Structure 1
Amino acid sequence: MPKIIFICLLFFVHLFALDINASLEQQNNPKVFETLLKDLNQSSPDYKLQQTLIKKIIDTLQSKPTLVHEKDFSIKNDTQFIATYQKINDLLAKAYEKKDAIKHLKDQLDDIEENIQKDPTNVTLKLEKIYYKKLLLAHQAFIDAVFKHYPQWLDRLLAKLRFIDFKLPPKKAVEKIEKKIAYLEKKIKKLSIEKERWEILENSNKVSYLQKLLLAQFKKKEKLIHDWLRLEFETFFSYLKKRSSKALHISQTIKSYVQKHSSNPYIPVSLDTSMLYMLNKQIGNWKIQFAQIKKEVTLFATTNTFLGMPLYKFAEGLGIFLLFLLLRKVFTFFVLKIIHKIAKLTTTTFDDKLLEIIEGPLKFAFIILGLYFAFLVMDIENEVFDKTLKSLIIFEIFWIFYNMVHVLDETIYKFAKRFGRELYREIGAFFIKTLKIFILAIGLVSILQVWNINVSAFLASLGLGGLAFALAAKDTAANLFGGLSILADRALKIDDWIKVGDVEGTVEDIGLRTTKVRTFEKSLVTVPNQMIANNPIENFSRRNIRRIKMRIGLVYSTTHEQMHNILTDIRNMLKSHPGIAKKATLLVNFDEFEDSSLSIFIYCFTNTADWAKYLEIKEDINLKIMEIVQRNGSDFAFPSESIYIEKIAEKE
């Protein structure tokens, strides 16, 4: 029983220790660790190591990064200027060193974590973990502070540069500096050559000790470049008043050389800009003023970002895109106009159709090229941008195919004549629309595949949504099959005069879903193909003759002989009339005695179904009937009543 109680106590003490250590990782108060230092078990074999680690943690928490202070900008002479400038660049170099150290600290923390998992009760390991974490956070805070304030420090320093008179060093000192520069430059160039050799050796897996030897030399390069820059900077001021052109040359040399050999992105701009400030102050050359503005813009563009990229890269990309838009305008207003004029001079229409196919896509190609080169200059390696460009290229290709269908419609209509000359226009239009929809569908699927969207899997995953979609598309499918049945049955064609339900007019278009009918009131009615397929269609254009049916009434004063002559003359007139169908039924009869007239029934057919010609024939027949009635001494009756009044003799 005592053993069990002792084991439980040890377990709870162990848990309590873990909780304390876990909370210590979040502590940033040095006093907490000072208390912990006093409570350390001095009899522990790791006491000294634990004591050292806690002291390091306290020092890390108490230390504050030494940055550039306000007093450093109270610059009155060239010595103070160079000292502040050196301090700023030393801070930047230190920030880069800490950035490299962070990678090493993270590796050490990973190793400590593995050891803690193997030995969870090891206090020393936990203290090491806390120390490295605090050190990593301190390094990161220093890096963030330097990178944040560096452009501001540089701007303030350069502003002071205008008001400082630099003393010229003695001639011998200048010559000594120049010799030192030449020596350093030679050493750096030699290292660069050896670097190329080293890379070749590394790629071909040659002697490893030589690689290590060369790598050790590269570590010297950063110091060489730093010394070279400092000496060039001093040399520049020595040449400033007497040899301004040489000073400008050194300024340009510094920029190109440092960009080639140094990993520091700020030094080339800052040094070159400061030199241009001095040239402007001492010489006052307008070229230098322009260069100063250019360098200030460069400084702003390299130290500021937009959408996560340097501002100058975004500006370059935008400029290239605008350049391609300008080229597009030039191409449209000059090149295309000349090509159109040349095409009009030819006798064939092939070149005109080819221009119609490619004109729109050619203009759009400038936009695609502009985006491509803009992204290339901006170093955008983003999957979204890549997929957008690929989608635009696919859109361009299928646009050309779509235009080809539109331009090659005559060929399609010729092909449609094989299926029937009567409905070749309707079948051709159906083929054209089907091809366009097919091209659009393939293009859409291709674009969706670029974005890794599986269309078949997407449709299969719809489930009940797919069923709802199918039900919603039921009418569309019915209209589509209705259109196919109209073309297959040849029930109607374009320009036919039809009547379907309450709709009567001339067919203007037979589509995949609907048929457009122009009524005699000139309004356009869109009729679903399903309705046309499921209802009786009265096609007036399919009849080759048109009926004339009418009654005329003659006055009751017409005699038997007059009536007989009128009937005979009308029959003969209709039989000989060129607009009356000869083989069709022709009836002219004295039909009945009406209340106020003697009715003659006339029934015949014109030899045309055209509405306008039909009216002309009917008008001519009516005029000739009037002439026949008048010639035979009769007249047309109108509704009338005769009232007879009988006079009765008065009674006597």
Structure 2
Amino acid sequence: MSQVAEIQTFLNGLLDHSLWSIVIALGVIVFTLLTRGLIVRLLINLLKKVTGKTKTKFDDKLLTAFEKPIAMTYLILGFYLASSLIDFSPELKLILDRITRSLVLYAIFWIAYGATDYLEVWLHKILEKRNARVDDMLASFLKNGSKIVIIVLGGLTIAQVWFDELAGIITGLGLGGLAFALAAKDTAANLFGSITIMIDRPFEIGDWIQTPTVEGTVEEMGFRSTRVRTFAHALVTIPNSVMSNDPITNWSKMGKRRITYKLRLNYNTTSAQTEECVERIRAMLKSHPEVHPQTIFAYFEGFGENGLEILVYFFTKTTIWEEFLIVQEDINLKIMDILEELDITVAVPARRLLVNETENQDNPVIDYTS
């Protein structure tokens, strides 16, 4: 009912106004709409001349966050000036004043919100001058955190325009506040999870990680979640409360990459051939430029079910997957060359069937031997 009454008051007040006041107000609104683009461009160009004199390019990029909020503020001021030319009732003036103040505050916080996108650039520039380094994950965390703070402060500030006793209203929420706290427990868990990740630092932006639920490259970490790009190029969003509790394997932190397998030789291979084969493989690995010299094993390990087993165990210097595959292929080809030169064949799984002939030829005894 109060809204209907306000509309009736507005219409009644509008009819009491002089025609000239309404015409001038409409003229101001039309002028504001027509000159908005020109005024905004002039103001932006003026600011560019000022920022062009500085050594850093950060303020030049920051201007892009100002353009739309400035245009909005210019429109708000135009409409406010037009409304001030008309003698509205005190109640309606109060409503129009609150609307104007709310929109101006919205534009201000919009500028601050847009400026946070350049916070990472500013941090890197400042720390480069001090020969320090800020990692991408911390910069992303600060940027997203700043956006949340700005949204909360903006909402509270605009609410203060409409509710003079905002603190009293918040205090008087009672059970509603408790219900809100219970509903926000997951958000709080994600917030503390993000803090835990920032302290422990199990990964950084760009790292290749593996968890029980996802494997891929970390793209972004925010207050609520972490985004991981899988190798299928899908983007997976994981709550930080889950990420902080799951075991995380960070493959990007490998200093070297392991290769291990058992080479099985045919049982027809002689002991001399086996010994020379092991020695040549070991020598080849030690002389290979892409094999890490710290741990190299090549030994005749034992007699397997299908052949003589040689353990091959070593690490590559590179951890990049494609380079790793190239090194592995090169070593496998060199081992094949050694086997060909020594006339050694690789054992394959086989079974031998022995048939024992007896006096009763109709019922032979069959022995299955591996």
The normalised TM-score by structure 1 is 0.48
Alignment of 1:378-417 (within 5 A): 378-381=86-89, 382-413=93-124
Alignment of 1:540 with 2:287, yes or no, is no
Per-residue CA shift, 1:398-449, capped at 9, x if unaligned? 223333332343222456789x84x622222222222222222222222112
Distance change (3 Å), C-alpha of 1:344 and 1:552? farther
Matched, 1:610 2:320: yes
1:453/1:638 CA distance change after superposition, 3 Å: farther
Counterpart amino acid of residue 323 in structure 1? F
Does 1 or 2 have the higher relative contact order (CA < 8 Å, sep 6+)? 2
Query: Take 1:543 and 1:607, find their aligned partners in 2: how far apart are those partners?
Result: 10
Corresponding residue for 1:594?
304
Q: 1:361 maps to which residue? A: 69
Question: 1:308: which partner in 2?
Answer: 13
Equivalent residue letter for 2:331: I
CA distance in 2, matches of 1:513, 1:393: 29
Which secondary structure state, in structure 1, belongs to the residue aligned with residue 293 of structure 2?
A: coil
Distance 1:435 1:639, change over 3 A: same
Is this contact kept in 1: 2:58–2:121, CA < 8 A? no
- The verdict on how the C-alpha distance between 1:562 and 1:309 changes in structure 2, with shifts beyond 3 A counting, is same
- Please point out which of 425, 431, 435 is paired with 2:142: 431
Equivalent position of 1:479 in the other structure: 190
Secondary structure at the counterpart of residue 432 of structure 1: helix
The whole-number CA distance in structure 2 between the counterparts of 1:437 and 1:650 is 91
How far apart are 1:531 and its partner, in Å? 1.3
Determine the structure 1 residue equivalent to 2:368: none
Could you say what secondary structure the match of 1:442 adopts? helix
Q: CA deviation at 1:384?
A: 0.2
CA–CA separation in structure 1 for the residues paired with 2:336 and 2:225: 48
Assess, with a 3 A threshold, how the Cα gap between structure 1 residues 342 and 645 changes in structure 2: closer, same or farther: farther
Structure ID, larger Rg: 1
Three-state SS of the structure 1 residue aligned to 2:168 is: helix
Is 2:274 the counterpart of 1:552? no
Instruction: Pick from 212, 219, 222 the counterpart of residue 511 of structure 1.
Output: 222
For 1:608, the aligned partner's letter is T
Measured after TM superposition, the shift of residue 514 of structure 1 is 0.8
Higher helix share: 1
Q: Secondary structure at the match of 2:181?
A: helix
Residue 3 of structure 2 corresponds to none
Counterparts in 2 of 1:336 and 1:459: CA distance versus 1, 3 Å: closer
Provide the residue aligned with 2:170 in structure 1: 459
Unaligned runs of 5+ in 2: 1-9, 362-370
User: Structure 1: which amino acid aligns with 2:347?
Assistant: A
Aligned-partner Cα distance in 1 for 2:281–2:341? 12
Matched, 1:327 2:35: yes
Change (3 A) 1:646 1:411: same
What amino acid maps onto 2:66 in structure 1? I
Q: 1:355 to 1:391 in 2, by over 3 A?
A: same
For residue 338 of structure 1, report the CA deviation from its aligned partner. 6.8
**Which digits, 9 at most, give the CA deviation of each residue in 1:31-72, with x for residues without a partner?**
xxxxxxxxxxxxxxxxxxxxxxxxxxxxxxxxxxxxxxxxxx
* CA deviation map 1:442-488 (0-9, x unaligned): 22222112113433222211111111111111111111011011111
Task: Tell me how many residue pairs correspond in the alignment.
Answer: 344
Unaligned runs of 5+ in 1: 1-304
| Distance (Å, rounded) in 1 between the aligned partners of 2:80 and 2:242 | 51
Q: Deviations over 1:554-582 (max 9, x none)?
A: 22332222221211111011111122211
Deviations 1:620-651 (A, max 9, x none): 21111111111211122322234456778999
SS in 2 for 1:601: strand
The aligned amino acid for 1:482 is G
TM-score (norm 2): 0.81
- CA shift for structure 1 position 342: 7.7
Match in the other structure for 2:6 = none
Distance 1:370 1:596, change over 3 A: same
User: Which has a greater percent of strand?
Assistant: 2
Q: Is the 8 A contact 1:505 1:518 kept in 2?
A: yes
Q: CA deviation at 1:345?
A: 9.2
Tell me by how many angstroms 1:592 deviates: 3.0
The amino acid across from 2:199 in the alignment is: A
Question: Identity over aligned residues, as a percent?
Answer: 39
CA positional deviation for 1:366: 2.2
Aligned match for 1:633, one of 339, 343, 347? 343
